[in-house]
Amino acid sequence: MSEEVIFTEENGIGIITLNRPDRLNALTYPMVQKINKYLNSWEISEHINCVIIEGAGDKSFCAGGDVIKLRKEVLEDGGPPTNLSQSFFYDEYTLNFKISNFKKPFISLINGYTMGGGVGVSMHGSHVVASEKTMFAMPETAIGLFPDVGGGWLLGQLDKGIGAWLSLVGARIKAYDLMKLKLITHYVSSSDIGNLKKMLISSSPSTNDKVDSIVNSLSSNPNSEDSVLITNENIIKDAFSFDTIEQIFEKCESLSITGNEFLNAQFEELKHKSPTSLKISLKQIRDASKMTLKDELIMEYRMVQRCLEIGDFFEGVRAMLVDKDRKPNWQPSNIKDVDEGRVNKFFEVLGNLDLVLTN
């Protein structure tokens, strides 16, 4: 049986290869634990100048956490809560924060699907290199979660309307829009990703400036043909810049009479998401706009534990990924029934179970 994640060292470069191509390189808890361990070692090693993270295969960098496996194991263990439901996210968010503060260049080659947990292990790094194969999304509201792994913080820094649209709808965007939103640092054609890796290994850069010089030698401008924002940015902002889900729904409803096919498709997507997830996600990214990543991850950990205990996570994963009937029984099923008291429960402190992060 092949390793789920492979660690190699070449000429002063630590290389992490997510190695589950048949599962789009989805993250398991042992993978998270191993990456944490290696980064701790590599950060203080005199023999490692920088780190590269990549995904095996030519389709996906990492399509997220393996929530099917997580759901199965937590339920089999009689939870939630269980040790796994608490420790998986604790260690995953610790890893996300570690990457954001890594003392050496951290280069993410996101040549393929980059979603959910994949965003957390790549887009907090110093260098985020996309290609024409890159597809970004935070689709968690469809499974009773919210944009986590620090993704809520990334979206919270964007324009209010664009951030809410990506968070609530789980919309997919490609390299041109990612560059426009400054969610990636570089664009390199997929045909040159292998050359870039070789050049990095050959040069073994130890500073961000040296990495920039190497990546810039192969970088170019992404193709605008794949852009969603060029045509739809204004209507997205018009519909999604509000601070309540009710206002967003009302605006989408009123705009739908214009017959805009794009907006109507976004509105239809919204209607199928967990009402609880929609409300907590909007509050999350609005709060995140005024937070540090550290504080936002602590907030996310409170939220995720509530999602597993009183939210729609297990039902969402069942409906969308296990049984695939796409008929989740959301509780409550209507946004009007998700009151402020319910929303606030997801943000309550966990006492001695709170996430603790150190710089």
Catalytically active residues are 65, 117, 140, 148
Angle at 72 between CA 68 and CA 78, to 5 degrees: 150
Sheet containing strand 106-110, edge to edge, reads 5-10, 13-18, 50-55, 106-110, 127-130, 186-187
Tokens of 341: 């008291």
CB of 14 within 8 A of CB of 105? no
Give the number of other CB atoms < 10 A from CB of residue 287: 16
Backbone phi and psi for residue 116, each to the nearest 5 degrees, phi listed first: 50, -120
Which of 6, 16, 121, 14 minimizes the C-alpha distance to 62? 121
Distances (CA, A) of 209 to 104, 124, 130: 11, 17, 18
> H-helix or E-strand containing 109?
strand 106-110
- Exposure letters 124-138 (e unless 16+ CB within 10 A, then b): bbbbbbbbbbbbbbb
In whole angstroms, give the CA distance from residue 88 to residue 120. 13
